[in-house]
Amino acid sequence: MKNFSDPLLCNVNNTLFDALQIINNNGKGVTIIVDDNKKLCGILTDGDIRKLIIKDTTLKTPVKDIMNKRFTYATIDDDPKKILGLASEKIRIIPIVDKDFIYQKFYELDSRIFIPVASPELGGNELKYLIDAFISTWISSKGSYITKFEEEFAQFCECKYGVAVSNGTAALHLALLALGIKTGDEVIVPDLTFAATINCVLYTNATPVIVDIDPVSWCVNSDEIEKAITPKTKAIIAVHLYGQPCEMDKIMKIARKHKIHVVEDCAEAHGATYTNKRVGSIGDVGCFSFYGNKIITTGEGGMCTTKSKTLAEKIRMLRDHGMSNKKKYWHDLIGYNYRMTNLQAAIGLAQLERIEEILTNREQIENGYRESLKDINTIQFQHHNLPKRKKITWLVSALVKKLDRDYLLKLLKKKGIDSRPFFYPLSAMEIYRKYVFSNSESTKISALGLNFPTNSSINNDTLNTIRNILLKAIK
């Protein structure tokens, strides 16, 4: 009879006494029972043994007579997410076998736990379209997937035109260039956003003007925009932060009154609406990101959406070295290479087919958090029913009250739960400080804000773990 070096394994020809010794030594409360060829036969837990002893089983009883033959296992090719789904507080150890049922290793709930803050959902036609694009040999920035993706994404955003680009930052940069933003102009940006929003203003040599946010929506404060306007103001970048639409009717009214442009930074808000209008269709240009952690992804990628033919054509030209669309190798503008590849667009199109489903799933994840933590007033979730707005769930976002946010982040990380603090206010950073107009609310909100992991591996166990961490931290 064979013995095994793996501390969890027990030979099926052993006795209950041997099994107990194995469990005692491995400290896992369980032994995995295999035959001489390591073929998986059963499982025995210390709980099982307690019940057996009560029923007069003796220590000499062969393991094969008492082992659990109906147990949870996984195969080596199973999706890690599936395996995670099988595990629970009760079933912490899962044997993993190959196709011949030979034991390979075990999966343990505690040792595995790492919940990433975000992970892409690639379970639709992504691979199929990607292979199709690859086989077609149109792997560079020409090809039918680009056109299809542009058309369908524009349609999703209720816009006539979509121009796919290499990333969300490029989309913002091109939007400003197409609107004629240049040296000496001022562009208003919110203090609480990802740095790309302000960087693209600086790329055009215009001067950013950083204004405060509204503490309720966390988006740019319209009254502050009005106060910051000067004769040099040429544009506002409205960032729909963490899926929440800005107050677009007020912003558009201010823009019309002062004859300034509005660029929507929709990088975190694909599908959100304001007065039933999709973000990206309200200002002059909408800018989207398809980075790996965004609502839909192309790996890296972005899109400008607009209702203006002139702007779409200009963005298209600027994306492709500023080359004339009538005369090859003729340049009337200094352009960029900001093109998206057909391979990226193939993934994007497949993602777009499922965007409603992806949005619904994310919303359900957020609802799960809200339900699980509803009695814990330390966590104040983002407003999700502000008038005229339908926010979407990018990352489940909340403020941490009466508890140190960074301490909570550390506790979560210790348990393998990856979370994120809010963006630092731009005004907190040396390189941007000189552009500040106002920043008091953004500074407060930024220090309290936290994004919880938002991906399909979040289940009731994860939510309970987070809940327990919070309850302990409050005490």
Ligand X SMILES: *Cc1c(COP(=O)(O)O)cnc(C)c1O
State whether residue 115 is helix, strand or coil.
strand
Instruction: State the Cα–Cα distance between residues 204 and 73, nearest whole angstrom.
Output: 58
Shortest distance (Å) from residue 258 CB to ligand X: 24
- Establish if 242 lies at the interface with ligand X (CB under 6 A): no
Shortest distance (Å) from residue 272 CB to ligand X: 13
- Establish if 196 lies at the interface with ligand X (CB under 6 A): yes
Nearer to ligand X, 193 or 446 (CB): 193
Q: Which two tokens stand for residue 367?
A: 């609802």
Shortest distance (Å) from residue 210 CB to ligand X: 14
- Establish if 246 lies at the interface with ligand X (CB under 6 A): no
- Establish if 167 lies at the interface with ligand X (CB under 6 A): yes
Paired with 61 in beta bridges are none
- Establish if 193 lies at the interface with ligand X (CB under 6 A): yes
Interface mask (CB under 6 A) for ligand X, residues 64-83, using x and -? Answer: --------------------
Residue 294 is among the residues annotated as catalytic for this protein:
yes
Helix axes 126-135, 342-353, angle to 10 degrees: 150
Q: Which two tokens stand for residue 349?
A: 């199109």
- Return the residue of 15, 197, 305, 455 that touches ligand X, per CB under 6 A: 197
Q: Which two tokens stand for residue 346?
A: 């193939």
The DSSP symbol for 165 reads: E
Shortest distance (Å) from residue 171 CB to ligand X: 8
Cα dihedral 145, 149, 155, 157 in deg (nearest 10): 180
Which residues, 320 to 349, sit near ligand X by CB under 6 A? none
Shortest distance (Å) from residue 247 CB to ligand X: 17
Nearer to ligand X, 265 or 366 (CB): 265
Paired with 379 in beta bridges are 400
Helix residue ranges per DSSP H, 221-308: 222-228, 248-258
Instruction: State the Cα–Cα distance between residues 269 and 277, nearest whole angstrom.
Output: 13
- Return the residue of 120, 271, 302, 449 that touches ligand X, per CB under 6 A: 302
Q: How many residues bind ligand X (CB under 6 A)?
A: 14
- Return the residue of 189, 239, 254, 323 that touches ligand X, per CB under 6 A: 239
What's the one-letter identity of residue 367?
A: N
- Return the residue of 11, 31, 141, 169 that touches ligand X, per CB under 6 A: 169
Paired with 33 in beta bridges are 10, 42
E strands, 256-320, in order = 261-265, 273-274, 277-278, 285-289, 302-306
Per the residue annotation, which of 28, 38, 294, 307 is the catalytic one? 294
Nearer to ligand X, 167 or 342 (CB): 167
Nearer to ligand X, 162 or 302 (CB): 302
Which residues, 261 to 300, sit near ligand X by CB under 6 A? 265, 267-268, 289, 291
Shortest distance (Å) from residue 312 CB to ligand X: 19
- Return the residue of 168, 190, 245, 283 that touches ligand X, per CB under 6 A: 168
- Establish if 138 lies at the interface with ligand X (CB under 6 A): no
Burial of 27 from C-beta contacts in 10 A (0-12 / 13-18 / 19+)? exposed
Instruction: State the Cα–Cα distance between residues 355 and 453, nearest whole angstrom.
Output: 19
Nearer to ligand X, 302 or 453 (CB): 302
State whether residue 430 is helix, strand or coil.
helix
Q: Which two tokens stand for residue 203?
A: 């790329």
What's the one-letter identity of residue 182?
A: K
Write out the catalytic residue numbers.
Answer: 294
Binding site for ligand X (CB under 6 A): 167-169, 193-194, 196-197, 239, 265, 267-268, 289, 291, 302
